[in-house]
Amino acid sequence: MERAAWHDFIFNLEGKRVTGVVLYQNGVKAEEYHFDDEHRRNQYSATKSFTALAVGIAEKEGILSLEEKIADCFPEALPEKPSENLLAITVRDALSMSLGQDRAYLMGGERVHLKETDWVKYVLSGPVVNRPGSVFLYNNAGPYLAGRLVQKRAGCSLTDYLMPRFFERAGIYRPTWEVDPLGYSFGAGGLMLCVSELAQWGLLFLQNGWYNGKQLLDPVFVEQATALQTPTANGKKDAGYGYGLGLWLGANGSFRADGKYGQFCLVMRDKNAVLAVNAESRSPQEILDAVWDILYPAL
Q: How many residues does the chain have?
A: 299
- % of the chain residues with pLDDT over 70: 99
**Residue 236: band (very low, low, confident or very high) from pLDDT cuts 50, 70, 90:** confident
Radius of gyration of the chain (CA): 19
Averaged pLDDT for residues 10-27: 97
Provide the mean pLDDT of the chain. Answer: 97
Contact assessment for residue 9 and residue 295, using Cβ atoms and an 8 Å cutoff:
yes
- Looking at residue 247, the DSSP 8-state letter turns out to be S
**Residue 235: band (very low, low, confident or very high) from pLDDT cuts 50, 70, 90:** low
What span, in angstroms and rounded, lies between the C-alpha atoms of 68 and 250?
A: 28
**Closest Cα partner for 70 from 154, 156, 182, 145?**
145
Give the pLDDT score at 2: 81
**Closest Cα partner for 98 from 238, 245, 211?**
245
Output the pTM of the full model.
0.98
Instruction: Return the H-helix or E-strand segment holding 144.
Output: helix 141-154
pLDDT per residue over 22-44, tens digit each?
A: 999 999 999 999 999 999 999 99
Q: All domains of the chain, ordered by start, with CATH?
A: 3-298 (3.40.710.10)
Give the pLDDT score at 13: 97
Instruction: Return the H-helix or E-strand segment holding 266.
Output: strand 263-268
CA distances from 151 to 48, 126, 145, 208 (A): 15, 22, 10, 24
pLDDT at 118 over 90: yes
pLDDT at 61 over 90: yes
Give the pLDDT score at 231: 94
**Closest Cα partner for 252 from 286, 214, 295, 211?**
295
Query: Residue 256: beta bridge partners?
Result: 248, 266
Contact assessment for residue 56 and residue 225, using Cβ atoms and an 8 Å cutoff:
yes
CA 119 centroid distance within chain: 20
**Closest Cα partner for 120 from 200, 203, 189, 187?**
187
Per-residue HEC secondary structure of 30-76 comes to EEEEECCCCCCEECHHHHHHHHHHHHHHHHHCCCCCCCCEHHHHCHH
Per-residue HEC secondary structure of 157-210 comes to CHHHHHHHHHHCCCCCCCCCECECCCCCECCCCCEEECHHHHHHHHHHHHCCCE
pLDDT per residue over 129-182, tens digit each?
A: 999 999 999 999 999 999 999 999 999 999 999 999 999 999 999 999 999 999
Contact assessment for residue 293 and residue 287, using Cβ atoms and an 8 Å cutoff:
no
Give the pLDDT score at 37: 94
What span, in angstroms and rounded, lies between the C-alpha atoms of 246 and 259?
A: 11
Amino acid identity for residue 230 in this structure:
T
CA angle 157, 162, 166 (to 5 degrees): 175
pLDDT at 238 over 80: yes
pLDDT per residue over 255-293, tens digit each?
A: 999 999 999 999 999 999 999 999 999 999 999 999 999
**Closest Cα partner for 150 from 234, 228, 211, 61?**
61
pLDDT per residue over 175-221, tens digit each?
A: 999 999 999 999 999 999 999 999 999 999 999 999 999 999 999 99
